[in-house]
Amino acid sequence: MQNYVMKISVVLVVVLVTFSLMRLCTAQTFTDYGPGPVAPNEPVQTNIQNGAPFELNGYTITPLATFESESRVLSAREYNRGREADLSPIDLALGWGEMSDQQVLRQISIRQMNRFYFWNVEQFPIPRRNIETQSANMHMIPANRDIERKMKLARRGDVVRFSGSLVRADAPDGWRWVSSLTRDDTGNGACELVYVEEFEFVRP
């Protein structure tokens, strides 16, 4: 009986230590560039009427808007399963304005899972709506292998600049994946689907 209790105790300790480590891993470990926003400007978007579609990996890609951004990487996650991965091998959670400020970010816990971006706070460092409208999870579709390689080097805290198009992807069987066209939405369907033609690090 004593050995059983000891085993249970050891298991509980392991679980608690693992949970604590997970909390530490999700805590912010951003490169510190000092106080203030390092990517102060919001993304620039120009909607397109009747964008010319093109084929990519068996999907029809239709541009919906031109898009460019200089943003801070809040989190990065690669995906290799699901048909979305046929087009987008990586999601970047990105922040600009106040959501690129180290003093703000160190008070927000951020993670990605299942093509979503999640954040949590104990106390709001800025208004909730500012967090929602100055950050986004973006599904990145690289235009070529070189851009894909660069995007996969992105790490939390990096400042990146990229340009391309917000797009809709259609499959022959009727499956469709459509980008959000606003930074004001939240929840399912609020992510941007970005065909990336240029990508560079501003502050790696």
pLDDT digits (tens, 9 = 90+) for 149-195: 999 999 999 999 999 999 999 999 999 999 999 999 888 889 999 99
- Please give the biggest Cα pair distance in the chain: 74
**Does 58 fall in a domain?**
yes
pTM: predicted TM-score of the whole model, two decimal places: 0.84
> Does residue 137 lie in a domain region?
yes
Write out the residue range of the structural domain in which residue 50 sits: 44-203
Do both 156 and 93 map to the same domain?
Answer: yes
Write the pLDDT tens digit of every residue in 32-80.
Answer: 788 899 999 999 999 999 999 999 999 999 999 999 999 999 999 999 9
Please state the domain count of the chain: 2
Instruction: Determine, yes or no, domain membership for 10.
Output: yes
- Does a structural domain hold residue 38? no
The C-alpha atoms of residue 165 and residue 54 are separated, in whole angstroms, by 12
Q: Would you state the pLDDT for residue 14?
A: 40
* pLDDT tens per residue across span 80-114: 999 999 999 999 999 999 999 999 999 999 999 99
Same domain, yes or no: 52 and 21: no
